[in-house]
Amino acid sequence: GAGGAAGGGGGAGGFRPATPNARGQYSDAVLSELESQNEEHLGGMIAKVKALKGVSLAIGNEIRDSTALAEKMNDSFDSTRVRLRGTMNRMLRMAERTGVGWKAWLAFFAAVVLLFWYVWLF
């Protein structure tokens, strides 16, 4: 039988107001209700898309910053490696000229570092 749902302006007027008539047309009330539901869903989807866009932009910025930092650190390590290699070569040449072996110079520099470390801590 006919149920307790009000038709709301034209249409079938019985149990299912969202049912089209014989020509496949819906009532104005049903169409406006569906349109308002679509607008509500569209508003929610727009908000979610904006949130996703914000997150995507933040991820992109973080990736760019991390890449720049990694390249900067790589350049710093390369320059430090070149400097250390040059310093080591100069120390070895100096050790050859003085006739003292590089192990003796290494022990001397280790003693100096330990002395500075002792003075700094105590």
**pLDDT tens-digit map of 31-43:** 888 888 888 899 8
Q: How many domains are contained in the chain?
A: 1
Count CB atoms within 10 A of the CB of residue 11: 20
Q: What is the pTM assigned to this prediction?
A: 0.43
Q: How many CB atoms lie within 10 A of CB 13?
A: 13
* Domain assignment of residue 47, yes or no: yes
80 is a domain residue = yes
Query: Cα–Cα distance between 7 and 16 in angstroms, integer?
Result: 8
Query: 14 lies in a domain?
Result: no
Are residues 98 and 108 in contact, defined by beta-carbon separation less than 8 angstroms? Answer: no
Higher pLDDT, 108 or 13: 108
* Structural domain includes residue 18: no
* Burial class of residue 27 in the structure, from the number of CB atoms within 10 Å of its CB (0-12 exposed, 13-18 middle, 19+ buried): buried
Domain residues for the domain of 84 are 28-99
Query: For residue 49, is it within any domain?
Result: yes
The verdict on residue 69 lying in a domain is: yes
pLDDT in tens, 18-70: 677 777 777 788 888 888 888 889 989 999 999 999 999 999 999 999 999 99
CB 15 within 8 Å of CB 2: yes
pLDDT (tens digit per residue) in 60-107: 999 999 999 999 999 999 999 999 999 989 888 887 788 777 788 889
Whether residue 121 lies inside any domain: the answer is: no
Query: Is residue 50 domain-resident?
Result: yes
